Amino acid sequence: MFGAEKGIENLQQLFAESKKYLELQVDYAKLELTEKLTILLSTLILVLILIILGMVALFYLSFTFAYVLAPYIGGLVGSFALITIFLLVIMSVVYHYRQKLIVAPMVKFLANLFLKDDQSQQPEGGGDL
């Protein structure tokens, strides 16, 4: 009878430890998801800030080029038209190569962020004992 009580105690301990392990795994998954979402959102904010600042810089740069080209073309209207055509050509090239320039790097970044094996982050020589 003593052996049966010991077995029940062991099963209860095993169940309690299993429950604790599952709770810890859920907490770990939440922390990992929080970390990855933080990286994703900070990267998104950084890219948005860089895009906005780049657009402002391009705006002023296009005005600068328009005023520099005006004496050679014969007026501001022609220089603005030339810069507009140039920017439209760049936009069409970016649109044409959007898969290579935008989609593929974004997919690669997200795949590396969410699907990366955490064991590959362990330091070298961390050896298995």
Residues 48-84: tens digit of each pLDDT: 999 999 999 999 999 999 999 999 988 889 999 999 9
Q: Where are the domains of the chain?
A: 2-115
Closest by alpha carbon to 37, among 117, 114, 121, 116?
114
CA distance 12 to 1: 17
Q: Which residue has the tokens 């990286």?
A: 39
Residue 12 has pLDDT above 90, yes or no: no
**Does residue 109 contact residue 43 with C-beta atoms inside 8 Å?**
yes
Q: Which two tokens stand for residue 92?
A: 């069409």
Considering the entire predicted model, what is its pTM?
Answer: 0.67
14-51: pLDDT as tens digits: 889 999 999 999 999 999 999 999 999 999 999 999 99
Q: How many CA atoms lie within 13 A of 67 on its CB side?
A: 5
CA distance 125 to 129: 11
